Amino acid sequence: MKIPYYPGCTLHERARDFDVSARECAKALGVELEELPIWTCCGAVFPLVTDSVMDILAGVRNLEYASRIGDKLVTLCSFCYNVLKRTNRVMRDDLEKREKANLFLRADTAAREEVESYTKTDYTGQVEVLHYIEMLRDVVGFDELRKKVENGLGGLNVAPYYGCMLLRPKKEMEFDDPEQPTVFEDLLATLGCDIVDFPMKTECCGGFQIVNDEELAVMCSQNVVSSAIKRNADVIVTTCPLCRYNLDKKQEEMIERVRGFRRIPVIYFTQLLGLALGIDEEHIDFSDNYVDPRPVLAEKSLL
Amino acid sequence: MRLKLTRDLIRDELITRVQDLSGQSLLQCYQCGKCSAGCPVVHEMDIVPSEVIRLLQLGQLDEALDSKTIWICASCLQCASRCPKGVEFSSICDALRQIVLRKRMATPRVDADDVSAIMVSDAPQMGVVGALRKLNG
């Protein structure tokens, strides 16, 4: 089964490990992620002001590209998912913005030249934007996934970190409850993990503020990391490259700020999924992790 | 803090502009403070989210625009998700930033040239792009 796939800029560059592990896992589950033939940056953040059509155009273009090859679009990065899903909703529900955005699309000569099958039909929000976790739950099915698990991850204490972008705003994302989400836990339970519930699982990691005010973002991340450590987690699992960066790489600074700070690996959920499905370690690729998860995984006999 | 309250200030067209840009009705807020209580960066703010809304209700736009608060919000939407009246402070914050950034000759909060080389070569692109879009305009 083929499903259109939007990797986004970060997965193409700094989060190759996320992209490669996700593709390999999908393959093992009988799904081929078909990367869009052309795509651009989605814009990374959804504009919260009401008058901006230009700020959603990048997202609209990518959705329109996706509509040419299928009726679904799977993405992994929480930011891309948030932007594409909210943009899609604008295109579906806001007729004025839809019309304006389509005028831009029609003027987009580059797009017309690159893809022969371009039909000049308006984009009306017909593509269904799915997160990879939703694909696992609704297209593959957790029961089916359970049957394909080769190495149960029993004994590994995993703290699922949702962050913000998957969940909020609830009425638009419709992903899960914004305060007490459970879908990540359901997925991890399918893989046999021991789940660590921690109070900061939906708290912000500081996000893009890492660029503006590093200390502020590190403090936010530290609250999340410390909360998971206190609950005796072995690893934190995330779905967002920016969360991964803030929570993992910035432990370099947390060590200096907090006496006796114990480091904890932060990995992508697809890396854990890869382990469970028995994917080759080279495709899971732990080499980009700042805090190496391999010692703890080896200790639990999972490598 | 001493405030001078006048009808002109409260009905200032820029206050209406904040409401239009953010899509939020300022008078919906009844000052319960849940937004401020749940905000992960509130302790770094000079004016907390519910106070910013109160200032706007009273027409004190300049106080809000000059605050440090609007630049350290990371748009995590925790405030919006917890508000019992459905007011999204994150959107009000974005509107206030836009009012500053759209002024002619505005000084952006984050200038592309100021982003450190380490950040550019190390951080995920989404972080750099996100910061520039939110804080540069």
pLDDT digit string, tens, across residues B71-89: 999 999 999 999 999 999 9
Whether A111 and A181 map to the same domain: the answer is no
Whether A179 and A294 map to the same domain: the answer is yes
**How many domains are there within chain A?**
2
> Is ipTM over 0.90?
yes
pTM of the model: 0.96
The partner residue sitting opposite A9, judged by closest CB among B41, B125, B135, is B125
- The alpha carbon of residue B127 is apart from the nearest alpha carbon of chain A, in Å, by 4
How far, in Å, CA of A272 to CA of A18, rounded?
A: 11
On whether residue B50 sits in a domain, the answer given is yes
On whether residue A142 sits in a domain, the answer given is no
Distances (CA, A) of A133 to A78, A98, A142, A163, A259: 11, 28, 10, 14, 37
Question: What's the CATH code of the domain at A170?
Answer: 3.40.50.11810
How far, in Å, CA of A207 to CA of A241, rounded?
A: 10
On whether residue A232 sits in a domain, the answer given is yes
CA dihedral A95, A59, A133, A38 (to 10 degrees): 130
Q: Return the pLDDT at A109.
A: 59
Inter-residue contact A77 to A241 (CB < 8 Å):
yes
Whether B61 and B116 map to the same domain: the answer is no
Cis ω for the linkage preceding A169 (within 30 of 0): yes
For residue A60, the number of C-alpha atoms closer than 13 Å in the C-beta half-sphere is: 24
A15 touches chain B (CB under 8 A): yes
pLDDT digit string, tens, across residues B39-72: 999 999 999 999 999 999 999 999 999 999 999 9
Whether A120 and A164 map to the same domain: the answer is no
Residue contact A220–B40, C-beta within 8 A: yes
Residue contact B125–A14, C-beta within 8 A: yes
Ordered strands of the A2-6 beta sheet: A32-35, A2-6, A72-75, A128-131
Helices A78-93 & B125-135 angle (0-180, nearest 10): 50
Q: Return the pLDDT at A116.
A: 55
Nearest CA in chain B to A8: B126
If you search the block for the tokens 């969360």, which residue do you land on?
A: A243
Residue contact B76–A213, C-beta within 8 A: no
Whether A176 and A67 map to the same domain: the answer is no
How far, in Å, CA of A103 to CA of A97, rounded?
A: 10
Choose the mutation target among B20, B110, B126 for the interface with A, i.e. most A CBs under 10 Å: B126
Whether B97 and B121 map to the same domain: the answer is no
On whether residue B27 sits in a domain, the answer given is yes
A18 touches chain B (CB under 8 A): no
- Name every residue whose Cβ is closer than 8 Å to that of residue B69 and which is 6 or more positions away in sequence: B45, B46, B47, B48, B49, B52, B93
Residue A170 tokens, joined: 């609830």
On whether residue B1 sits in a domain, the answer given is no
On whether residue A136 sits in a domain, the answer given is no
Full domain range(s) for residue A183: 149-299
Q: Return the pLDDT at B84.
A: 98
Residue B104 tokens, joined: 């002619």
Whether B77 and B37 map to the same domain: the answer is yes
Whether B74 and B95 map to the same domain: the answer is yes
Full domain range(s) for residue B133: 108-137
Whether B33 and B80 map to the same domain: the answer is yes
Residue contact B95–A203, C-beta within 8 A: no
